[in-house]
Amino acid sequence: MLTFFSDSHHAHAPQYEFFRGERVPCFETPARAEYVKARLAERGHVLRTPQADSRALLAKVHTARYLNFLEHAWRDWVALEEGNGQRQPFPSVWPVRTLRSDVEPANFTARLGLYSMDNGSPLSAGTWQAAKAGADAAASAAALLSGNSERAVFCCSRPPGHHAGADFMGGYCFLNNAAVAAQGLRDGGAARVAVLDVDYHHGNGTQSIFYGRADVLFISLHGDPMTEYPFYLGHADETGEGEGAGFNLNLPLPAGCTVPRWFEALEAACLRIAGFKADALVVSLGLDTFAEDPISKFALQPQDFIRLGERLGKLGLPTVFVLEGGYAAAELGTNAVNVIEGYEGR
Ligand code: SP5
Ligand code: ZN
């Protein structure tokens, strides 16, 4: 399967994240994409550098205010104080209910809080460059599918994107690559696009971007937000609003649930996609459903990822795969390529 890969992902390399009040090494590391790249090459898949500029699509799924903040965040952080180039910025204050988010403060930390859903998404010098390259890959993939030059494309990019909403970052995500791909497919002529999110964590950003729209169906299977990140979205009663009513499907599963139960939920998701008569599919391919994932609690084995790919292939739709989470880095290549090769029936 044709794969987009950009070396720019290395530019996003923060050192630490917060866990239980302590700084711990980041789970979302450059090694992840390199393991996937190596496995793709080993199995003979073609790697190409994205050529599309995602700016126009980014402007349709994110706010101008947020994009402007993110593009210049590192510059502004470094300008704030001597030595900041060697430090990581973290938000420490957020505009929760009753506080105003319409006015953008001048203070950098206040702006960082305004545009963040958590303190777990550290920025580094090249975050914008890496995230932009991932969005460019998503835009390139959508363009190729729209022009019928490819049937399916895999975007091997990081940082991931599905927690990023129209105007916020979160959960290691900055730009919503799946949303860029879906919007690109819509603009390229697909009347109905389905986004299937199989990451362990609910794709709150993608859901929120398309929540009021009937042209993009969002479906997610994930750890129940009652106990699992992102906690504040992803429940079964979130079904869409306005024109989008009925076009959002959440299938929360208990942490620790069995593989057969996971595949039952996948089957329900696939039946809904078929009923929607989607013209194209975007898969938010999180691989943190793997049994050995260090931060997640599902139980999929490497061969289960082949079965996932096979089921998605049966949908018979032009498909963009976008890499999301998955933190058992050394096994990430095998698991990702298993999905792709299952899809291809190889
Ligand atoms: C894209 C994606 O998968 N984002 C996940 C963000 C999860 N953020 C919360 C991480 C909590 C880490 N918990 C560590 C438990 C170690 N035992
Ligand atoms: Zn995840």
The predicted-structure confidence for 234-269, as pLDDT tens digits, reads as follows: 999 999 999 999 999 999 999 999 999 999 999 999
pLDDT at position 21 over 90: no
Supply the pLDDT for residue 236. 99
Ligand 2 mean position to 147 CA, how many Å? 31
Residue from 163, 201, 202, 222 carrying the catalytic annotation: 163
Please give the DSSP secondary-structure letter assigned to residue 21.
T
Angle in degrees, 0-180, between the axes of helices 30-42 and 329-344, rounded to the nearest 10: 40
Ligand 2 mean position to 232 CA, how many Å? 15
The per-residue pLDDT for range 162-193, each reduced to its tens digit, is 999 999 999 999 999 999 999 999 999 999 99
324 lines ligand 1 (CB under 6 A): yes
Q: Are 170 and 118 in contact (CB under 8 A)?
A: yes
Q: Are 172 and 163 in contact (CB under 8 A)?
A: yes
Q: Are 9 and 135 in contact (CB under 8 A)?
A: no
Taking the C-alpha atoms of residue 206 and residue 228, their distance in angstroms, rounded to an integer, is: 17
Ligand 1 atom nearest to CA at 173: 1
> Rounded mean pLDDT of 270-277?
98
pLDDT at position 346 over 90: no
Element (H, E) at 69: helix 64-80
The per-residue pLDDT for range 97-123, each reduced to its tens digit, is 999 999 999 999 999 999 999 999 999
Supply the pLDDT for residue 310. 98
Supply the pLDDT for residue 35. 98
Q: Are 137 and 177 in contact (CB under 8 A)?
A: yes
Question: 290 φ, ψ to 5°?
Answer: -60, 140
Q: Give residue for tokens 């390199």.
A: 34
Supply the pLDDT for residue 124. 98
Supply the pLDDT for residue 61. 98
199 lines ligand 1 (CB under 6 A): yes
Ligand 2 mean position to 83 CA, how many Å? 32
Which of 161, 208, 209, 216 lies closest to 59 in space, CA to CA? 209
> Rounded mean pLDDT of 339-345?
98
Determine if the pTM surpasses 0.95: yes
**Is 163 considered catalytic here?**
yes
> CA-based angle 25:37:293, to the nearest 5?
45
Taking the C-alpha atoms of residue 44 and residue 235, their distance in angstroms, rounded to an integer, is: 40
> Rounded mean pLDDT of 46-60?
98
136 lines ligand 1 (CB under 6 A): no
Taking the C-alpha atoms of residue 288 and residue 45, their distance in angstroms, rounded to an integer, is: 23
Q: Ligand 1: which residue has its CA nearest to atom 5?
A: 171
Taking the C-alpha atoms of residue 235 and residue 240, their distance in angstroms, rounded to an integer, is: 12
pLDDT at position 75 over 90: yes
Supply the pLDDT for residue 300. 98
Question: 276 φ, ψ to 5°?
Answer: -75, -20
Give the E-state strand segments of the chain in sequence order. Answer: 2-4, 16-19, 22-25, 47-48, 152-155, 193-197, 216-223, 248-253, 280-285, 319-323
| Share above pLDDT 90 across residues of the chain, in percent, rounded to a whole number | 99
